[in-house]
Amino acid sequence: MHFRHLALPVASLAALAYGYANPETCSGECVIYDPTLIRRSSDGTYFRFSTGNEISYCTASSLLGPWTSVGSVLPDGSSIDLDGNTDLWAPDVHYIDDLYYVYYAVSTFGSQDSAIGLATSATMDLGSWTDHGSVGIQSSSAKIYNAIDPSLIEVDGTYYMQFGSFWDDIYQVKMNSAATAASGSSYNIAYYPDGTHPEEGSYMYAYGDYYYLFYSWGICCSYDTDLPASGQEYHIKVCRSTSATGDFVDADGTACTDGGGTIVLESHGEVYGPGGQGVYDDPTYGTILYYAYTNTSIGYADDEKQFGWNTIDWSTGWPVV
């Protein structure tokens, strides 16, 4: 592992002055990337899934931990016939029709040869997962999007999948009634027109009269070898719409398909490059934003990223950490 104790970039100091809250304390197994959360209703146990180890997962009795490693969802990898099918990414967990669904991405870093798969379990116990392979969302260099970072939302009985990374950024597709396969054509819902189009890791959440599209913007990884220019590191943005299928705008009214996006959380204090986020309604703490981040007092390597979460204040109509 490589450690780099650097002076904080100007953007981080500005964020600190803005007043972002520090992440809540994490205990136990706190190293993570691309987290997703669910709570098993039968016993109240929290399950946290993440990138790596063929989708690794942990359990805890509280969001504060201590988090204990369970193992891998698919220890033999995915049945999807693509490079990277034993290095699964960016899980997204849901409870649908008495089954726990974990969507995952198959790809290799920087490639468009990507697909989204699905595994299910009745209990989430180790060894109980069934791999169903591809859900029909797949990309290649012939397409303008990348099929990674799945995120499902249910709207009045209809399921939609958000996905995508860089290239043409974030897309959406309608799913079938069981949420096991795409049933329509994909369409763009967020796009940053300049540079490398650095938007990915979307997560849609309904609150009040709006659907909020959270996403990660910037460079996610390898901070220990190549620190991005100030402000180009991961941070979390949001747009909103009264429809789940489009017309998302930021707090200034700029369309999310034209580079719009209001910052929710960015580098501050010892927190650097937060992203890979999701939103969860917790019975104890209320609505929370969870994510992975680099703790500058620990180290900048990808395998040192930490699990963080904060409660969300909605009083302005926009999520505030």
Q: What is the pLDDT of residues 58-74, one digit of tens each?
A: 999 999 999 999 999 99
The per-residue pLDDT for 112 is 95
Let me know if residue 218 belongs to a domain.
yes
Let me know if residue 1 belongs to a domain.
no
* Higher pLDDT among residues 119 and 2, named by residue: 119
Confidence of residue 16 (pLDDT cuts 50, 70, 90): very low
Residue 14 above 60 pLDDT?
no
Let me know if residue 86 belongs to a domain.
yes
Confidence of residue 19 (pLDDT cuts 50, 70, 90): confident
The per-residue pLDDT for 285 is 97
Task: Domain of residue 70: give its range.
Answer: 10-311
The per-residue pLDDT for 57 is 98
Let me know if residue 317 belongs to a domain.
no
Determine the average pLDDT of the residues in 287-292. 98
Residue 148 CB coordination number (10 Å): 26
The per-residue pLDDT for 5 is 32
The per-residue pLDDT for 18 is 52
Let me know if residue 226 belongs to a domain.
yes
Let me know if residue 220 belongs to a domain.
yes
The per-residue pLDDT for 17 is 41
Residue 11 above 90 pLDDT?
no
Whether 193 contacts 166, CB under 8 Å: no
* Higher pLDDT among residues 237 and 2, named by residue: 237
Residue 54 above 90 pLDDT?
yes
What percentage of the chain reaches a pLDDT higher than 70? 94
Residues assigned a catalytic role = 34, 200
Determine the average pLDDT of the residues in 214-239. 97
Confidence of residue 9 (pLDDT cuts 50, 70, 90): very low
Determine the average pLDDT of the residues in 230-255. 98
Report the mean per-residue pLDDT for the chain: 94
Determine the average pLDDT of the residues in 18-34. 93
Residue 7 above 60 pLDDT?
no
Residue 144 above 90 pLDDT?
yes
Let me know if residue 78 belongs to a domain.
yes
Residue 279 above 90 pLDDT?
yes
The per-residue pLDDT for 78 is 98
Q: How distant is the alpha carbon of residue 209 from its chain centre? A: 23
The number of folded domains in the chain is 1
Determine the average pLDDT of the residues in 227-239. 97
Residue 243 above 90 pLDDT?
yes
CATH number at residue 115: 2.115.10.20
